A and B are shown apart, each in its own frame.
Chain A
Amino acid sequence: MPERKLQYKEELFSTEDPFFTPFEIQMGPQHPSTHGVLKLRLVLEGERIVDCEPEIGFLHRGLEKLAESMSYTQVLPLTDRLDYISAMNNNTGYALAVERLLGIEPPPRGKFLRTMVCELARVASHLLWLATHALDIGAMTVFLYCFREREKILDFFEDICGARLTVSYPKIGGVRLDVEMGTLERIYDFLPEMEKRLEEYEGLLSENRIWLERTRGVGVISAEEAIAYGLTGPSLRGSGVEYDVRKHFPYDAYPDLDFEVPIGKNGDIYDRYLCRLKEMRQSLRIVKQCIEKMPSGPVCAENSPDLDMLISKRAPVAMAKGEIAFIGFPFERVNLVPFGELYSAVEGAKGELGFYIVSDGTGKPYRLHIRAPSFVHISALPKLAKGHFLADLVSIIGTLDIVMGECDR
Chain B
Amino acid sequence: MKDLLSVIRDEFGKFILEVREEDLPTVIIKRDGFLEFIDFLRKEGFNHLLDLCAVDYLNYKPEKKIERFEVVYHLYSIPKRELLRVKVPIAESDCWQYSLTSFWKAANWFERECFDMFGIRFKGHPDLRRLLMPEDWEGHPLRKDYPVELPEEKEWKAYRKFKTKAKGAQ
Contact = CB atoms under 8 A, between A and B. Distances in A.
Contacts of A56: 131-132
Nearest to B70: A358
A65 B105 contact: no
B94 interface: no
Given A228-B106, A230-B104, A343-B51, A57 B78 contact: no
Contact of A379 (B48, B106, B132): B106
Contacts of A229: 104-106
A327 interface: no
Contacts of B30: none
Contacts of B85: 343
B68 interface: no
Contact of A1 (B24, B74, B136): B136
A282 B49 CA distance: 27
Interface of chain B, main secondary structure: loop
A38 B10 CA distance: 47
A262 interface: no
A371 B48 contact: no
A358 B105 contact: no
A397 interface: no
A345 B51 CA distance: 11
Contact of A343 (B62, B78, B83): B83
Contacts of A232: 50
Interface in B144-170: 146, 148, 158
A57 B133 contact: yes
A48 interface: no
Interface stretch (B1-9, B11-19, B31-39, B53-61): B53-61
B53 A100 contact: no
Contacts of A65: 141-142, 146, 148
A62 B141 contact: yes
Contact of B61 (A225, A361, A367): A361
Interface residues of B, number: 41
A207 B56 CA distance: 53
A228 to B, nearest CB: 5
A186 B129 CA distance: 51
A383 interface: yes
Interface in B114-152: 117, 127, 129, 131-136, 141-142, 146, 148
A356 B142 CA distance: 15
Nearest to B116: A57
B108 interface: yes
A25 to B, nearest CB: 20
A57 B131 contact: yes
A367 B105 contact: no
Contact of B55 (A66, A342, A352, A358): A358
B78 A354 contact: no
A371 B104 CA distance: 16
B39 to A, nearest CB: 15
Given A69-B148, A227-B78, A383 B105 contact: yes
A38 B116 CA distance: 19
A369 interface: yes
A367 B127 CA distance: 26
B96 interface: no
Contacts of B133: 57, 60
Contact of B72 (A68, A356, A375, A378): A356
A242 B136 CA distance: 42
Interface in A36-72: 56-57, 60, 62, 64-66, 68-69
Nearest to A335: B62
B109 A376 contact: yes
A33 B75 CA distance: 34
A343 B51 CA distance: 10
Contacts of B105: 225, 228-230, 379-380, 383
A62 B23 CA distance: 27
A204 B81 CA distance: 38
A361 B60 CA distance: 10
Contacts of B53: 356, 369, 371
A340 B135 contact: no
Interface stretch (A2-10, A87-95, A122-130, A153-161): A2-10
B135 A2 contact: yes
Given A65-B142, A334-B61, A343 B136 contact: no
Contacts of A356: 51, 53, 72, 74
A100 B48 CA distance: 23
Nearest to B109: A379
B78 to A, nearest CB: 5
Q: Which 5 A-B pairs have the closest CB atoms?
A: A230-B106, A379-B109, A57-B132, A339-B62, A369-B53
14 contacts: A2-B135, A60-B133, A64-B117, A65-B148, A242-B78, A341-B23, A352-B50, A354-B51, A358-B55, A361-B61, A367-B55, A367-B56, A371-B50, A383-B105
Given A243-B78, A356-B74, A379-B108, 5 more contacts: A228-B106, A249-B83, A354-B50, A360-B60, A371-B53
Interface of B: 22-24, 47-51, 53, 55-56, 60-63, 72, 74, 78, 81, 83, 85, 104-106, 108-109, 113, 117, 127, 129, 131-136, 141-142, 146, 148, 158
